[in-house]
Amino acid sequence: MKTRREFWQLCLANAFLASLPSCGAHSALGMRTLYQQDLPNITLAGWQATVLELTFPPGLIAPSHHHPGFVLGYVLDGKYRFHMEGAPEAVLSPGSVFYEPPGHVHLPSGSASATRAARVLAIAFGEKGKELVTAP
């Protein structure tokens, strides 16, 4: 894909095709489910989705924080050290998907490599006009 616009057009096309009755188009596209997560029982009225590309240089550690809303993330490149309070720390590879529930503390995280950055695509869902990230 050449542009982000083409990427989002493909995403929307896939979402549309997924809603159609099975007609063989799914197999032609090579569509597969990467991750499924139950979401919090909330209304999304007055909310928005913010798509972020995060780059964690080697040695940089992001501090503890939480999100008033929830986050779905996808590791694009490198090894990403991911740790939520109350859960074991994990090192995620490209193609890994993660979920951060509303209000849960995301402990310090970053690249798991001393020489290579980690890149993550994060979709943060939150109320319009409010901060996406706050201190714990």
Q: Which residue has the tokens 């890994």?
A: 96
Query: For the domain bounded by 38-127, which CATH number is listed?
Result: 2.60.120.10
Model pLDDT for residues 28-59, shown as the tens digit of each residue: 678 888 899 898 888 889 999 999 999 999 98
Model pLDDT for residues 95-116, shown as the tens digit of each residue: 999 999 998 999 999 999 999 9
pLDDT of 127 = 93
pLDDT of 1 = 45
* pLDDT surpassing 70 at residue 75: yes
Model pLDDT for residues 81-99, shown as the tens digit of each residue: 999 999 999 999 999 999 9
pLDDT of 6 = 55
What are the sequence ranges of the domains in the chain?
Answer: 1-32, 38-127
pLDDT of 136 = 79
Higher pLDDT, 3 or 117: 117
